Amino acid sequence: MKRTYLFLIITAAVAIPALLLSPGCKPSNPVSAVEGDAASKVYVAPGKFDEFYNIVSGGFNGQVSVYGLPSGRLFRIIPVFSVNPESGYGFSEETKPMLNTSHGYVPWDDSHHIGLSTTNGEHDGRWAFVNGNNTPRIARIGLGTFRTEEIIEIPNSSGNHSSPFLTENSEYAVAGTRFSYPLDNQESNPDVAINTYKQNFKGTVSFIGINPETGRMNLSFQILLPGVNFDLARCGRGPSHDWFFFSCYNTEQANTLLEVNASQKDKDFVMAVNWKKCEEYAKAGKGKVSKVRYAHNVYDEKTHSATSTIETETIVLDPKELKDIVYFMPCPKSPHGCDVDPTGEYICGSGKLAAVIPVFSFSKIQKAIADKSFEAEFDGIPVLKYDAVLHGEVKKPGLGPLHTEFDGKGFAYTSFFVSSEIVKWNIEKLEVVDRVPTYYSIGHLCIPGGPTRKPHGKYVIAYNKITKDRYLPTGPELTQSAQLYDISGDKMKLLLDFPTTGEPHYAEAIPASLIQPKSVKFFKIEENNHPYVAKGEKEAKVFREGNKVHVLMTSIRSHFTPDNIEGVKLGDEVYFHVTNLEQDWDVPHGFAVKGANNAEILIMPGETCTLKWVPDRVGVYPIYCTDFCSALHQEMQGYVRVSPRGSNVPLSFSTGNKAEPTGTSK
């Protein structure tokens, strides 16, 4: 293994691009990497439960997926930033507002990082937050329903990458702009030449307040920052509770060919933000109100409907004036990960192109600030002296460090993209103690509870970017590959490969016991406040408002009420408001109509969903239940008659209330 590793260093040093392109460079023989008892360690027998939920971002599918650990079994894909025809998310009238933005309806995004809610720095199993990277957004998912409950757009941001990481009591989620740009403050002029980056492009990091009872988000304040790229972030813990740390690259302030131009300097920055001070200043009115536009979308579990509101103001704090809220710390070579250990004392920067992992000391940072141990200013913000804030460096840990997680036993685990490995090192001593290959090109990694005060440990999961020959091939496009390692002993042991959907970036894992007992089984029909609910078959009806036809329909095993509708005319918009009357776990009903230009709707027990349908021709159209609900699912169907414009067919509806004699006498 060691020899392989040395070989890799040489190879990489000589020709990193060649390494990236070559499928032939494997860190070691994957067959020998697995020990004989691996299968029994990940085997979860039929009917048994996994120990952990693994909440995994979906990357370019814009969703979040839920796996079990250690089995690697996929349980659910939760639609968040992207439409999902399977459930009707983003297609139903109730969920369309969830995808509204200041740019209008945006039915896709790129979801990168998971932030599970915490209390006192430990998982509390209430919410999962996830960022939308492209049209900057943060979403909150309820871990009782595993549904997206809220999405807030981030103004003054382009590329919400360093997000949605949370403070220790989930006071705030953060959002740092990846792309600096001429901000969208409507009082400034964003129409500037691209090559005026240094003069006109700015960055921000935003703090989104989270209501401790409801989880509701609000944009509390933003910090105006020099034009650089903000990449990742972590909150302080314990003694560093009041602080937040962000990695920054492209301090060269390049606006083109960043591949080369953002790698010029020896050091970029890790930025330390005193968010408690910021909060005080914001409350004291020391921020400037800036005119912006952003959407705030909230899903109401009682009306089963989302609303979207456009907000128009944000409070911006300027660290050039508020001198004690932001400090830069030099960090080698385009840092990506910026991770804080469970004690809150150590902050690890992972320079993508660095040959060391610098570990900063929070107590040294505090002393350096007190001593004004500054080496320079960057756009009016003090830069602390590297040596004054450094705990030490892990020398030659591997190539292409990206992210670090912690086991709570004094060890850090860092992913290395270029050398395709996870390296375990001692935080205090800065010594590498173990390394394992990953297959291939690991990005993020996850230890259950790894970003909390009390990691649950036990496993580390690698989320690999390159799959190639790990599974049966499926043409040019391959599923992404995750790998599970046992970290309960001194040495990491590969246990399992499992495929993942989309392209997972960050993930968190949480003990099932924190979520499982709270899982909602159905929605209470008597609490359904949907404006078009039919709480029983007697409330089912069809009525017309101009050219809009509203169908208040019910579904229960195994029929719709009504299931025969006449009097719809060409030019009408038909709204099927379908209420699932079931009060039974895992009995959704689906609804689909021929020719609908959207999707099906999948209605949970007790819920009402609405599908809009504009028939394009005269005829009789079938409707049916799309979810195999019962033995007579295939009988769960009906018809809608569409007559020509101006037809005198009256609006009528029915469901056979007299059963015809069936069957034959024995």
Partner 1 sequence: MKLNFLFPLACSLICLFGFSQCTGNTPAATTSAETAAADGGQSSVQDNDSQKDLVKVAVGSKDHTTLVTAVKAAELVDVLSNAGPFTVFAPTNAAFDQLPAGTVEGLLKPDKKDALADILQYHVAVAVYKPEMFTDGQIISMANGGSVTMGVKDGKITVNGANVVATVQASNGIIHVIDNVLLPK
Binding site for partner 1 (CB under 8 A): 45, 47-52, 144, 511-513, 516-527, 535-536, 557-559, 582-585, 587, 606, 629-632, 657-659, 661-666
- Provide the minimum distance between the beta carbon of 121 and partner 1 in the complex, in angstroms, as a whole number: 22
Provide the b/e sequence for 542-566 (b: ≥16 CB within 10 Å). Answer: beeeeeebbbbbbbbbbbbbbbbbb
Give the whole-angstrom CA distance, residue 594 versus residue 577: 16
- Provide the minimum distance between the beta carbon of 504 and partner 1 in the complex, in angstroms, as a whole number: 23
524 or 645: whose CB is closer to partner 1? 524
264 or 516: whose CB is closer to partner 1? 516
Q: How far is CA 323 from CA 273, 365, 369, 371, 429, in A?
A: 11, 16, 11, 15, 34
Give the whole-angstrom CA distance, residue 150 versus residue 210: 11
Strands 421-426 and 411-416: antiparallel
Q: HEC profile for 85-124?
A: CCCCECCCCCCHHHHEECCEECCCCCEEEEEEEEECCEEE
657 CB-near residues (< 8 Å, 6+ apart):
none
Closest by Cα among 394, 375, 384, 264 to 337: 394
172 or 624: whose CB is closer to partner 1? 624
Indicate the DSSP class of residue 280.
H
332 or 606: whose CB is closer to partner 1? 606
Strands 548-556 and 573-580: parallel
431 or 635: whose CB is closer to partner 1? 635
22 or 516: whose CB is closer to partner 1? 516
- Provide the minimum distance between the beta carbon of 334 and partner 1 in the complex, in angstroms, as a whole number: 40
426 or 630: whose CB is closer to partner 1? 630
50 or 93: whose CB is closer to partner 1? 50
Count Cβ atoms within 10 A of the Cβ of residue 302 and give its class: 0-12 exposed, 13-18 middle, 19 or more buried: exposed
Provide the b/e sequence for 237-268 (b: ≥16 CB within 10 Å). Answer: bbebbbbbbbbbbbbbbbbeeeeeebbeeebb
What is the biggest distance separating any 2 CA atoms in the chain, rounded to whole angstroms?
A: 98
Query: What is the residue-wise DSSP string for 560-612?
Result: EES-EEEEEETT-EEEEEEEE---STT--EEEEETT-SS--EEE-TT-EEEEE
323 CB-near residues (< 8 Å, 6+ apart):
382
- Provide the minimum distance between the beta carbon of 114 and partner 1 in the complex, in angstroms, as a whole number: 19
Closest by Cα among 121, 216, 230 to 166: 121
For residue 127 the two structure tokens come to: 């919410």
- Provide the minimum distance between the beta carbon of 28 and partner 1 in the complex, in angstroms, as a whole number: 32
578 or 587: whose CB is closer to partner 1? 587
- Provide the minimum distance between the beta carbon of 44 and partner 1 in the complex, in angstroms, as a whole number: 9
Contact 606, 524 (CB under 8 A): yes
572 or 607: whose CB is closer to partner 1? 607
C-alpha 78, offset from chain centre: 10
Give the whole-angstrom CA distance, residue 529 versus residue 533: 7
- Provide the minimum distance between the beta carbon of 35 and partner 1 in the complex, in angstroms, as a whole number: 22
- Provide the minimum distance between the beta carbon of 589 and partner 1 in the complex, in angstroms, as a whole number: 11
Contact 562, 553 (CB under 8 A): yes
214 or 309: whose CB is closer to partner 1? 214
User: How many Cα neighbours within 13 Å face the side chain of 341?
Assistant: 23
Peptide bond into 358 cis (omega under 30): no
- Provide the minimum distance between the beta carbon of 70 and partner 1 in the complex, in angstroms, as a whole number: 11
Contact 356, 393 (CB under 8 A): yes
237 or 559: whose CB is closer to partner 1? 559
471 or 585: whose CB is closer to partner 1? 585
- Provide the minimum distance between the beta carbon of 453 and partner 1 in the complex, in angstroms, as a whole number: 21
Contact 423, 398 (CB under 8 A): yes
- Provide the minimum distance between the beta carbon of 628 and partner 1 in the complex, in angstroms, as a whole number: 9
Residues paired with residue 101 on neighbouring β-strands, in sequence order: 104
Tokens 């129409």 label which residue? Answer: 191
241 or 458: whose CB is closer to partner 1? 458
- Provide the minimum distance between the beta carbon of 605 and partner 1 in the complex, in angstroms, as a whole number: 8
- Provide the minimum distance between the beta carbon of 499 and partner 1 in the complex, in angstroms, as a whole number: 24
- Provide the minimum distance between the beta carbon of 104 and partner 1 in the complex, in angstroms, as a whole number: 34
Residues paired with residue 112 on neighbouring β-strands, in sequence order: none
For residue 186 the two structure tokens come to: 């409507």
In this structure, the number of other CB atoms found within 10 A of the CB of residue 510 comes to: 24
146 or 411: whose CB is closer to partner 1? 146
- Provide the minimum distance between the beta carbon of 638 and partner 1 in the complex, in angstroms, as a whole number: 16
Give the whole-angstrom CA distance, residue 484 versus residue 463: 9
343 or 655: whose CB is closer to partner 1? 655
- Provide the minimum distance between the beta carbon of 586 and partner 1 in the complex, in angstroms, as a whole number: 9
